[in-house]
Amino acid sequence: MADAPRRLRRDAEANLERILAVAVTVFAEQGMDTSIEVVAQRAGVGLGTIYRRFANKQALLDELARRLLTDVVAVAERHLEDPDGTGLAGYFWGIGELLATHRGLVSHMWNMPGAAPIVARSRDLQGRLLADAQRHGLARAELTAEDVAVTAWSLQGVLDTTRGLPVDAWHRHVEILLAGLAPGAQPLRHPPLTPHEMDTVIRETPADQRP
């Protein structure tokens, strides 16, 4: 008898993970206007199963965005362990892979309830990855953490405009970005954004265009 409640909990957890995985795929394929009904159909569950976990579509999107933002931080943390300053390049490739499978959800990360401390952690990690690359001569000395954030932001535009093309269409863009971040003979003539300016950009940019 004691096994029955545990089995039910395992089944409920499996249903939740299946719903979330299917929702990521459906929204990436069909756009963020896709209804929850489509998600339920593809997941093989009834609408009631979804609504028992999520009050509405926005609540589902919030959970997907929370997980995505947590995964973004995990990518940065993982690449802190890369040797000889290679973590920054690894981070850009990892972020590209992650965002390519979560198209459409990126804009929801930044206005999700409780996002601020996770975003701050992400920014801190970006700065540490950059500093390590600079110490090993793999990144321009004049770059700042805000440069890394803006450069990562640009991936969203490439992914959005190449929707429907081969999934690796963004690879060349990352190669170009990394070439631009590498030390070069010509110094950068224009100043970077300050941390305050970066915060202002994120705050004032429409939600569907945020990094």
Distance CA 165, CA 167 (A): 6
Distance CA 127, CA 149 (A): 9
Is residue 211 predicted with pLDDT exceeding 50?
no
Residues 101 and 50 in one domain: no
Domain of residue 114 covers: 65-209
Please tell me whether the overall predicted TM-score, pTM, comes out greater than 0.85 for this model.
Answer: no
Region of residue 137 (left: phi > 0; alpha: psi -120 to 50; beta: else): left
- Closest CA relative to residue 142, chosen from 190, 175, 174: 190
Residues 200 and 124 in one domain: yes
Is residue 197 predicted with pLDDT exceeding 60?
yes
Residues 34 and 71 in one domain: no
Instruction: For residue 60, tell me if it sits in a domain.
Output: no
Residues 117 and 197 in one domain: yes
CATH of the domain at 40: 1.10.10
The per-residue pLDDT for range 79-104, each reduced to its tens digit, is 999 999 999 999 999 999 998 888 77
Residues 49 and 70 in one domain: no
Residues 25 and 121 in one domain: no
Mean per-residue pLDDT, 102-114: 76
Instruction: For residue 171, tell me if it sits in a domain.
Output: yes
CATH of the domain at 151: 1.10.357.10
Residues 173 and 115 in one domain: yes
**What is the predicted pLDDT for the residue at 6?**
64
**15 or 72, which is more confident:** 72
Rg (CA), the chain: 19
- Tell me the pLDDT of the chain averaged across its residues: 86
Residues 20 and 76 in one domain: no
Residues 46 and 69 in one domain: no
Residues 47 and 142 in one domain: no
Number of domains in the chain: 2
Residues 20 and 122 in one domain: no
Instruction: For residue 59, tell me if it sits in a domain.
Output: no
pLDDT confidence tier of residue 114, bands split at 50, 70 and 90: confident
pLDDT confidence tier of residue 203, bands split at 50, 70 and 90: low
Running DSSP on this structure, what letter comes out for residue 207? G
Instruction: For residue 72, tell me if it sits in a domain.
Output: yes
Residues 167 and 75 in one domain: yes
The per-residue pLDDT for range 128-137, each reduced to its tens digit, is 999 999 999 9
Mean per-residue pLDDT, 16-38: 91
The per-residue pLDDT for range 135-178, each reduced to its tens digit, is 999 999 999 999 999 898 888 888 877 777 776 788 999 999 99
**What is the predicted pLDDT for the residue at 8?**
52
**What is the predicted pLDDT for the residue at 1?**
47
